Amino acid sequence: MSFDDDLLGEVTRGARALVLCPDVRGQSYEFDAEERLAEACGLAEAIGVVLGEARIVTIRSIRPATLFGAGQVQDLKSACEQFECDLVIVDGPLSPIQQRNLETELKRKVIDRTGLILEIFGERAATAEGRLQVELAHLDYQQSRLVRSWTHLERQRGGFGFLGGPGETQIEADRRMIRQRMGRLRKELEQVRKTRSLHRARRGRAPWPVIALVGYTNAGKSTLFNRLSGAEVMAEDLLFATLDPTMRAIALPGVEKAILSDTVGFISDLPTQLVAAFRATLEEVTAADVIVHVRDISNPSNSAQDKQVRAVLADLGVIDGEDGESLIPIVECWNKSDLLDQATSEELAASAQARDDVVLLSAISGEGVEDLAEQLSAMLTAGAQVYELSLPLSDGKRIAWLHAHGEVLSESESEDEGKGPSRKMAVRLNPKEWGQYQRL
């Protein structure tokens, strides 16, 4: 087994899995057990695993060695045989010891929630940056599990001559290799982060506003992105269908051009390794002029999902943690209205109309998407003022810029004494456009 072989391929596509949702007595959860189990099954299906059996396992007290009690472990072993499962997925964190002991008892591959999400990210990452981030997260996760995965390496390398001594164990050498590789990856990612900062700065100087789509995974962000932009980004009924940020130019009423950004979906209990590794990707959100929070309003857990998304935005500094106020304008997009019954749809439509920061729509059918476009346009042009400007006719650069990026209300030519022919213009510009005009 090579150094890289053990990092990837934890899960085999088409493997038949037993999916378990531990429900620890006395422990509070954002989602109830049935919803957590359904999400775990969705994660498994997203990586191409076949569901053999899914069940909630109530745990009175956590066993340090196996998580589950001895009797429960035997029941799980029987279930694996009954449903012909060769993989066990535990929707929760497992220590390396628990994972190793469960594999020994069940005689099957065991993977926890963190490992499963890492597998999905490893398969879906398409850009060089995404692959770097995934590899860093994999290494961070694996370095504590060498005892479990690499027991065949528990031997010592001999020294050389009389000065060699007992040598270092192979595991210690491999841990050192992992640390060195992680150091190189962090340097590469830091360079990527600097490059992205330069790109954001360049976009900041550009005249086009940026709109970022955020939301819980599988809320319909990519479908809405495709609907607004006419692009063909992967949009499937899968968790984490989108990993790498995608940007497209779109036109809105009164806004000739805006940049629409599709981002990675949020999820509860995201592995800490990925929170750190994907921070550069999520930082795109902090540079947006408007954030569109896409919510699957048909999902019974949409309120809990909303809390998770807002918590991540607070971590990014977008939302003030003290008073919950957003530093960037946010419009809530209540998506998947086509899945609602008529009574619920009418009730939510009335609630949305009563607020100026909510739009009810269906990205799949297109109903309500025009309302969202109007709302975004209003938010992007809020604070716009009319400026009376007089420019020399020879200043074609500024005149063309105003026509391209502002709303020209009137213009006329005149002869200014001592200054030659000029063009007088009344132009409506928002604060960002006015700042950009002054820098021309």
**Average pLDDT for residues 128-150, to the nearest whole number?**
74
**Matching CATH number, 16-124, of 2.60.40.10, 3.40.50.11890, 3.40.50.11060, 3.40.50.1370:** 3.40.50.11060
What percentage of the chain reaches a pLDDT higher than 90? 37
Q: Any known ligand binding at 335? A: yes
Q: 3-state class of 397 per DSSP?
A: helix
Token pair belonging to 244: 């790498």
Q: Any known ligand binding at 167? A: no
**Average pLDDT for residues 396-407, to the nearest whole number?**
86
Judge whether residue 160 has pLDDT over 70. Answer: no
Judge whether residue 134 has pLDDT over 70. Answer: yes
User: Which residue carries 């860093």 as its tokens?
Assistant: 136
d(C-alpha 148, C-alpha 10), whole Å? 13
pTM of the prediction? 0.72
Instruction: Output phi, psi for 336, to 5 deg.
Output: 65, 40
Q: Any known ligand binding at 216? A: yes
- Determine how β-strand 330-335 pairs with β-strand 210-215: unpaired
Tell me the sheet residues that pair with 390: 424
Q: Where are the domains of the chain?
A: 16-124, 128-203, 210-381, 385-438
Q: What is the pLDDT of residue 361?
A: 95
Q: Would you place residue 207 in the very low, low, confident or very high pLDDT band (cuts 50, 70, 90)?
A: low
Q: Any known ligand binding at 338? A: yes
Q: Any known ligand binding at 244? A: yes
Cβ(240)–Cβ(264) under 8 Å?
Answer: yes
Q: 3-state class of 429 per DSSP?
A: strand
Region class of 301: left (phi > 0), else alpha (psi between -120 and 50), else beta: alpha
Q: Which residue has the higher pLDDT, 365 or 415?
A: 365
Q: 3-state class of 361 per DSSP?
A: coil
Q: Any known ligand binding at 220? A: yes
d(C-alpha 87, C-alpha 246), whole Å? 34
Report the alpha-carbon angle 363-364-367, nearest 5: 60
Q: Any known ligand binding at 302? A: no
Q: Any known ligand binding at 277? A: no
Same CATH fold, 210-381 and 16-124? yes
Q: Any known ligand binding at 426? A: no
Token pair belonging to 71: 């009797």
CA-closest candidate to residue 13, choices 37, 53, 52, 46: 46
Q: Any known ligand binding at 222? A: yes
Cβ(51)–Cβ(41) under 8 Å?
Answer: yes
Q: What is the pLDDT of residue 343?
A: 94
Which range of 27-31, 54-58, 408-412 scores highest in mean pLDDT? It is: 54-58
Q: Any known ligand binding at 382? A: no
Q: What is the pLDDT of residue 405?
A: 77
**CATH code for the structural domain at 210-381:** 3.40.50.300
Q: Any known ligand binding at 337? A: yes
Q: Any known ligand binding at 215? A: yes
d(C-alpha 344, C-alpha 365), whole Å? 18
Q: Would you place residue 265 in the very low, low, confident or very high pLDDT band (cuts 50, 70, 90)?
A: confident
d(C-alpha 237, C-alpha 221), whole Å? 11
Judge whether residue 298 has pLDDT over 50. Answer: yes
Token pair belonging to 302: 């949409």
**Average pLDDT for residues 351-373, to the nearest whole number?**
93
Q: Would you place residue 152 in the very low, low, confident or very high pLDDT band (cuts 50, 70, 90)?
A: very low
**Average pLDDT for residues 306-311, to the nearest whole number?**
89
Cβ neighbours of residue 428 under 8 Å, at least 6 residues apart? 381, 384, 385, 386, 387, 406, 407, 409
Q: What is the pLDDT of residue 360?
A: 96
Q: Any known ligand binding at 430? A: no
Q: Any known ligand binding at 29? A: no
Judge whether residue 410 has pLDDT over 50. Answer: yes
Q: Would you place residue 281 in the very low, low, confident or very high pLDDT band (cuts 50, 70, 90)?
A: low
Q: Which residues of 396-423 are buried (b: 16+ CB within 10 A; e: fewer)?
A: eeebebbeebbbeeeeeeeeeeeeeebb
Judge whether residue 383 has pLDDT over 80. Answer: no
Q: How far apart are the first and last CA of the chain?
A: 60
Q: Any known ligand binding at 221? A: yes
CA-closest candidate to residue 242, choices 9, 46, 79: 46
Neighbours of 228 (CB within 10 A): 23
Q: What is the pLDDT of residue 149?
A: 44
Cβ(192)–Cβ(125) under 8 Å?
Answer: no
